[in-house]
Amino acid sequence: MPGSRFLRRSEVHANSPVFTVSELNLILLGPPGAGKGTQAERLQEDFDLVYIATGDILRKAVAEGTELGQKAKEYMDNGDLVPDEVIIGVILEGVESEAAQDGFLLDGFPRSVGQAEALEEDIGRLERRLTAVLCIEAPDEEIIRRLSGRRTCVKSGHVYNIHTDPPKHDEVCDQDGSRLVQRDDDREATVRKRLDVYHRQTSPLVEFYEERGLLRRFDGTRSPTEVHDHIRATIATLRLEDEL
Ligand SMILES: [Zn+2]
């Protein structure tokens, strides 16, 4: 009924946080260096989402000694990789937690179509669904320029970028005068390798979510604020569509 719909929406506006109508279940995709971390922080603040990053949540489950956390710990203690099914289980514990009832933001998961299918099935069982998959893109050459421009101070880990945020004096930290170095992770050859892995893992996922009409692309060469504005506008549109 159009009347009740209008009433509902005006109530939403009157109560100001505009974005608390329905749950917001998001996945964040993007290569290293495209600004995913910054956007994740802002989205958590904007929408009060539970942020589920694979590495963090695995460590947390281990620390809290949940059933799956204990399982994961066994593998980690033996120096083995934690198998897919355990990782999926830990992620799903997070998704099903009380705190994530209004929404979640997944980062670093899923990494494969198999994981994506497991996620879809599991949240489907809970009568929930993904709202969108936010993919922040940037050309490889731009990523390589950004990451290989990073310099880190050996003493306290202060980070500079010779292109965008250079130190006052070459190779010296502004804050404590110690030497700046390029971390191994930021060397061009390493960055290229990380990007190869990323593309290999991600292109099937991009296709998977595109087929489901969930994928939204964002231009990671824009400023973080521009990307953030674009994401917010996209989410606002999705939510209005959702209400209709
Ligand atoms: Zn320093």
Look at residue 4 and give its three-state secondary structure. Answer: helix
pLDDT at 40: 94
Count CB atoms within 10 A of the CB of residue 17.
10
Give bridge partners of residue 132 from the DSSP assignment: 26
pLDDT beneath 50, residues of the chain: 1-21
From the candidates 36, 71, 146, 216, which is the catalytic residue? 36
Report the alpha-carbon distance of residue 69 to residue 53 in Å, rounded: 15
Q: How far away, in angstroms, is 203 Cα from ligand 1 center?
A: 38
Told to judge if 194 belongs to the known catalytic residues of this protein, a careful annotator would answer yes
pLDDT tens digits along 129-154 = 999 999 999 999 999 999 999 999 99
Report the alpha-carbon distance of residue 71 to residue 58 in Å, rounded: 11
From the candidates 59, 60, 128, 183, which is the catalytic residue? 183
Q: How far away, in angstroms, is 179 Cα from ligand 1 center?
A: 8
Q: How far away, in angstroms, is 54 Cα from ligand 1 center?
A: 29
Give bridge partners of residue 24 from the DSSP assignment: 103
pLDDT at 192: 95
* H helix or E strand, kind and range, residue 106: strand 103-107
pLDDT at 244: 67
From the candidates 9, 192, 194, 217, which is the catalytic residue? 194
pLDDT at 30: 93
Told to judge if 36 belongs to the known catalytic residues of this protein, a careful annotator would answer yes
Q: How far away, in angstroms, is 178 Cα from ligand 1 center?
A: 6
Give the neighbor-by-neighbor strand order of the sheet with 159-161. 159-161, 150-153, 180-181
